[in-house]
Amino acid sequence: MNKEIIEVMDNASLANVKEQREAILALEAALMDMPDQIQDEIPVKHCLHGGCYIRSVTVPAGVMLTGEIYKYDHTEIMAHGRIIVTTDEGKSRELEGFHVMPAKRGKKRAAYTLEDTTWITVHTVTNIKSSDPEVVHSHLIVDSFEELEALENKEVLS
């Protein structure tokens, strides 16, 4: 099984950003089309403090998942576990234990958990004036790469 998982992850880790995005979106669509592989909702813990919004999840072993598209650079922390995950450099890596990683805006990750894994994402939110975690979160993500590109084009023109 791990051989197949690594092959899928490698397909989602192409050096070309457009191809990598397409591969991850195709993987996400395939996961949604698997009625026998019902994906459970993974509970998210939220913390708003000191100008930061922090999200943490603990993903059980054996779960294939994709992440969201974030508008801004942020920091990701793997607190513990073992996971195969796509990186900002366009390669998949197997990580074990504790890791801190910078994450670029516009990155959408694909991952497969080999062990229960706790993943934490830290965002700077000093420009968002809400104390509701869901409202803050909605200001940090986009629903598509097209929306991200439109935002980037708007910022260039400003």
Give the residue-averaged pLDDT of 124-152: 90
Cα 140 versus chain centre, distance = 12
Spatial separation of the C-alpha atoms in residues 117 and 85, rounded to whole Å: 12
More confident site: 44 or 36 = 44
Reduce the DSSP state of residue 149 to 3 states and report it.
helix
Q: What is the pTM of this model?
A: 0.82
- The tens digit of pLDDT for each residue in 73-94 reads 999 999 999 999 988 776 788 9
Tokens of 121: 């994402």
- Domains present along the chain, CATH in parentheses: 2-157 (2.60.120.10)
